[in-house]
Structure 1
């Protein structure tokens, strides 16, 4: 099941943006921006916008009079995003990707970075993206590849499995890395009405100044935090340190680098 919006509340938005965004999201936000720019859209919609990293990369690539609407279910995430990118051409709005509050054919491009994995009904969400796209418009989105293709995320899972053997946290494998089968993704898009689909698998590097920062990103900047605290309210720091030790043992004690891999999809009618 998808995670409810409240798991991205509290201190998670700030930690998410401070640690997770530079660690794994910025490379793919830059990639999406490079794909949006040649399309020269005047009306852009983003769903599951989180703390706004995609908008920070895409908006500078748009024409000065272009409009960008960024939506998310989590108001705390949107509030943080709005504070990080105060721009008159950007509108931040709470909205459900499965029931978009916009007219048909309202946007030239619909974007969604690493949000589709959270949708309880992906075909419905894709159908909504298609509905609000103008003729000739493009739906661009990304999803993480399998856990074993993403070093730090896999190592977090392995350490927490050992720490909580009777009830291991499953968020990383279940949600962020749970929707990676390209055949399934393509079929979901076709079921929603898209007919032209291109899927690129993009490998990048995840870089952190230290193993502890990488561990903090995953353990304290994502819903993994809630999973740890549910199992042991006093275990968050200990879990973070254990994950850091595992990452350091595999990647070194100073700056650490690991592979990240995702699928980037472009779909149209």
Structure 2
């Protein structure tokens, strides 16, 4: 899964937002940075490029992701870690960053409180989260393809997890409950560009938890073909471009 995620999804869906988040981090000056839910290191690499004088520690719960990320972004210190129980002392980092990871935390307030705990005085917590599913051109088309392939029981992973924390007021309330103060909030829409609908669909269906959902429903090559057909009907054969909307937050302790 990490290899398919890195090859097919990172360049199209995640790198544009990683470059944006890294540029925001760089404006805060030289930092000791902790990254949560770093995955395969797309934001890590962008941070190292945008702020080369910063010391970056990248973490992820998944050891396979940590191994792949360490190989792709060796300029950071990599460590397996649970964002809800960080293995770091108080006041250890100037900046905590997270790209599209907070939606996956079972206890978001607890994870936000941990981010606050490890932030030094004057530190910041910078992260993004996806907007509603309908504001992501690629994933809205993908969901339509899944509903066509599995009309009786389509997978709902996209709507309930990646796009399941799409109310900025709810995010802000959780930050406040964790003892953090929202300094900045922005709705941001960037364009994703994919050379191939087939590669993009393959990335989603083999490089994300959708893989298990499709397999549980007995899906295989026929399901993938249906998804590709529906996405092509909606977006074109490729190369294709689609808008993707996220919310960016910066919070202080």
TM-score range, shorter chain: over 0.9
Q: Does 1:71 align with 2:62?
A: no
1:217 CA drift (Å): 1.9
Unaligned stretches of 5+ residues in structure 2: none
How many angstroms apart in 2 are the aligned matches of 1:116 and 1:86? 24
Superposition pairs of residues 1-269 of structure 1, within 5 angstroms: 12-64=1-53, 66-87=54-75, 90-232=76-218, 235-269=219-253
Is 1:13–1:51's contact at 8 Å kept on the other side of the alignment?
yes
Is 2:172–2:182's contact at 8 Å kept on the other side of the alignment?
no
Is 1:186–1:197's contact at 8 Å kept on the other side of the alignment?
no
Count how many residue pairs are aligned between Structure 1 and Structure 2: 253
CA RMSD of aligned residues (A): 1.2
How many angstroms apart in 2 are the aligned matches of 1:247 and 1:163? 12
Which portions of structure 1, spanning 4 or more consecutive aligned residues, are displaced by more than 3 angstroms? none
How many angstroms apart in 2 are the aligned matches of 1:241 and 1:26? 26
SS of the counterpart of 1:177?
coil
1:237 CA drift (Å): 2.3
Q: Provide Cα deviations, 1:28-50, integer angstroms capped at 9, x if missing partner.
A: 00001110111113310000000
How many angstroms apart in 1 are the aligned matches of 2:30 and 2:116? 16
How many angstroms apart in 1 are the aligned matches of 2:204 and 2:198? 10
Unaligned stretches of 5+ residues in structure 1: 1-11
Is 1:248–1:256's contact at 8 Å kept on the other side of the alignment?
no
Is 1:225–1:236's contact at 8 Å kept on the other side of the alignment?
no
How many angstroms apart in 2 are the aligned matches of 1:43 and 1:265? 19
SS of the counterpart of 1:39?
coil
SS of the counterpart of 1:206?
strand
SS of the counterpart of 1:238?
helix
Normalized against structure 2, the TM-score is what? 0.97
Q: Provide Cα deviations, 1:93-118, integer angstroms capped at 9, x if missing partner.
A: 01000010111110000000000000
Q: Provide Cα deviations, 1:166-223, integer angstroms capped at 9, x if missing partner.
A: 3221111110000010110000000001123321111011111021122112112211
How many angstroms apart in 1 are the aligned matches of 2:183 and 2:174? 11
SS of the counterpart of 1:98?
coil
1:63 CA drift (Å): 4.2
Higher alpha-carbon deviation: 94-103 or 218-227: 218-227
How many angstroms apart in 2 are the aligned matches of 1:173 and 1:133? 31
